[in-house]
């Protein structure tokens, strides 16, 4: 019986060590060509005089449905965070281990220039990536935009921006490790300086590498409990043989 327990302990230790090892990196690609289920979830108003909205439009996209964006401002910058249906939980799905590549088509319908930038949310905080922006001008039609965003490229933005027609980074960064919360992916639309801005998004995609989620190793207390049960079984067996 002692030999059996010894083998069992060695087996449990081996399983625990293997369970703690991280999995191999995996490519994660999400693409949403038909913009029918997005939400304009975060509106950033610098001075309380801006508003914005988003809605799905059937037909007229590149191709198919697209996500129409409307801004109304009073000469200052507005940011409207549009979230797709795609989200990622690093704890249950695996840590994000590479820069994130965003790709999307932008359309300027009315007004002056409108910028579209990579955008994510996590734990009630909003982050944009200024390095990935593109300007879509009226009359150009659908324009391919996007870029690759590294961890240090994200700018945490709040509900108050300043100085006028600009933004300030709050200093926070997203947590892409296995301890991070669920991340929502989308695009932020920006404009300043004129009234009645309108544009659109289509063919959104996001691409990154992730680690496989780690399996939780057996707790020492659980191993000890099972071991004590095995000892009890062996003790009962010896008493039966003696009787």
In which band, very low, low, confident or very high, does the pLDDT at 67 lie, cut at 50, 70 and 90?
A: very high
In which band, very low, low, confident or very high, does the pLDDT at 88 lie, cut at 50, 70 and 90?
A: very high
Say if residue 223 is exposed, middle or buried (CB neighbours under 10 Å; 0-12, 13-18, 19+). Answer: middle
Gap between the Cα atoms of 72 and 78, Å rounded: 8
Tell me the domain boundaries of the chain. 25-213
Give kind and range of the element (H or E) at residue 56: strand 51-57
pLDDT (0 to 100) of residue 47: 56
Q: What is the pLDDT of residues 138-191, one digit of tens each?
A: 788 999 999 999 988 998 887 666 555 566 788 888 999 999 999 999 999 887
For range 100-121, the mean pLDDT = 89
Q: What is the pLDDT of residues 36-48, one digit of tens each?
A: 889 887 776 655 5
Q: Specify the CATH architecture of the domain 25-213.
A: Sandwich (2.60)
Q: Strands of 125-136's sheet, edge to edge?
A: 39-44, 78-88, 183-191, 114-122, 125-136, 155-157
* Location of structure tokens 């695009």: 187
């Amino acid at each position: 019986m002692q030999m059996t327990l010894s083998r069992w302990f060695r087996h449990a230790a081996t399983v625990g060590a293997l369970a703690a090892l991280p999995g191999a990196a995996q490519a994660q690609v999400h693409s949403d060509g038909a913009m029918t289920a997005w939400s304009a979830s975060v509106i950033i108003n610098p001075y309380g005089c801006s508003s914005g909205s988003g809605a799905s439009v059937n037909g007229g996209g590149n191709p198919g449905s697209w996500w129409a964006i409307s801004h109304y401002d009073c000469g200052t910058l507005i940011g409207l965070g549009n979230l797709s249906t795609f989200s990622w939980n690093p704890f249950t799905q695996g840590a994000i281990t590479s820069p994130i590549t965003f790709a999307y088509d932008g359309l300027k319908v009315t007004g002056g220039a409108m910028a579209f930038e990579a955008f994510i949310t996590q734990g009630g905080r909003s982050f944009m990536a200024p390095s990935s922006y593109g300007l879509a001008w009226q009359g150009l039609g659908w324009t391919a935009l996007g870029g690759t965003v590294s961890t240090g490229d994200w700018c945490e933005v709040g509900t108050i921006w300043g100085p006028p027609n600009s933004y300030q980074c709050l200093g926070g960064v997203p947590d892409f490790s296995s301890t991070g919360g669920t991340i929502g992916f989308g695009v932020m639309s920006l404009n300043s300086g004129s009234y009645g801005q309108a544009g659109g998004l289509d063919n959104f995609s996001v691409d990154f590498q992730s680690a496989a989620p780690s399996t939780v190793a057996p707790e020492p207390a659980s191993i000890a409990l099972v071991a004590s049960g095995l000892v009890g079984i062996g003790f009962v067996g010896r008493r039966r043989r003696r009787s």
